[in-house]
Structure 1
Amino acid sequence: MKVGEVCLLTNDVIRLSNFYKILFDIDNGSDDNNHQFIISEDTTLTVYNDGIEREANLHNICIAFTVDDVDVEFKRLKALGIQIIEPPTVRPWGAKNMSFLDPDNNLIIFRCFPPKIEQ
C-alpha cells in the first residue's frame, strides 16, 4: 500500500494552488477554482474546495517534502517573501528540516538528508 493522494481542503483553490505552483515551479495548466492537481506522480497533491466554509487552520497536520538541499530552498523561499517558521535545522535522526506556512496556514516542511560526515 502507498499513499495515493494528499488533498488540501480550502476556501480559495486559486490562491492556494498558485502558491504551490510557485513553490514547486509547476504549471499544471489549470485555473479551475474548484479542484486542481498540483503534483501528479506516485503521490498526488490536490487542492480542493468541497463547499464547506473552513475556519483558521490549527496545524493539525503538516506535510513534509524531501528536497535536494534545504539551504538552497531556504534562500529561494525567503526571496519569494515566504515567512519561515523554522530555519534549516539538523534533527537528531539526521534530517535537515525547515518549516513555513502556506496561505491557509498549513504547516509545510522541506527536508533533506545530508550525507553523514566522517570524523
Structure 2
Amino acid sequence: MRLGEVSLLTNHVVRMSEFYKALLEVENNSDDAVHQTILGEETVLTIYDDGSAKNNNNQNICIAFTVEDIEKEYEKVKKLGAKIKEEPTIRPWGTRNMSFYDPDGNVVYLREYLKIHTN
C-alpha cells in the first residue's frame, strides 16, 4: 500500500491552490473553485471544497516537504507572505527545518537533509 495523495479541505480552493502552486513552482492550468489537483515532483496534492464550513483550527495535521536549499525556500515563503512559525533551524536528527502557516492556517514544514562529511 502507498499513499495516493494528500488533500487539503478548504472553503478557498483558488487562494490555497495559488499558494501551493507558487510554493511548489508548478502549474496545473486550473482555476476551478471546487477542486484542483497539484502534481509535485513526487506528491499529489489536492485542494478541495467539500461544501462544509471549515473552522481552520487545524491542530492535528501538518504537511512536510523535503527541499534541496532551505534558504532559497525560506526567502520564497517570505515573499508569498506566509506567517513564519520557525525560521530555518538545524535539528539534532540531521536536518535543517523551518515551518510556516499556509493561507488556511495549516502548518507546513520544509526540511533539508544536511550533508554529513566524514574524513
Q: Distance in 1 between matches of 2:68 and 2:103?
A: 24
Secondary structure at 2:85 match in 1:
strand
Deviant stretches of 4+, over 3 Å? 40-43
Alignment partner, residue 75 of structure 1:
75
Aligned in 2, Cα 1:72/1:41: closer, same or farther, shift over 3 Å?
A: closer
Secondary structure at 2:75 match in 1:
helix
Deviations 1:13-47 (A, max 9, x none): 11111111111121100011110001255531000
* TM-score of the two chains, using structure 2 as the length reference: 0.91
* TM-score of the two chains, using structure 1 as the length reference: 0.91
1:90–1:97: 8 Å Cα contact kept in structure 2? yes
Unaligned runs of 5+ residues in structure 1 are none
1:3 equivalent in alignment to 2:3: yes
Q: Distance in 2 between matches of 1:116 and 1:42?
A: 25
- Percent identity between the aligned chains? 50
2:82–2:103: 8 Å Cα contact kept in structure 1? no
Counterpart mapping for 1:1-119 below 5 A: 1-39=1-39, 42-118=42-118
Aligned in 2, Cα 1:71/1:40: closer, same or farther, shift over 3 Å?
A: closer
Q: Distance in 2 between matches of 1:55 and 1:35?
A: 19
Aligned in 2, Cα 1:63/1:71: closer, same or farther, shift over 3 Å?
A: same
1:59–1:105: 8 Å Cα contact kept in structure 2? no
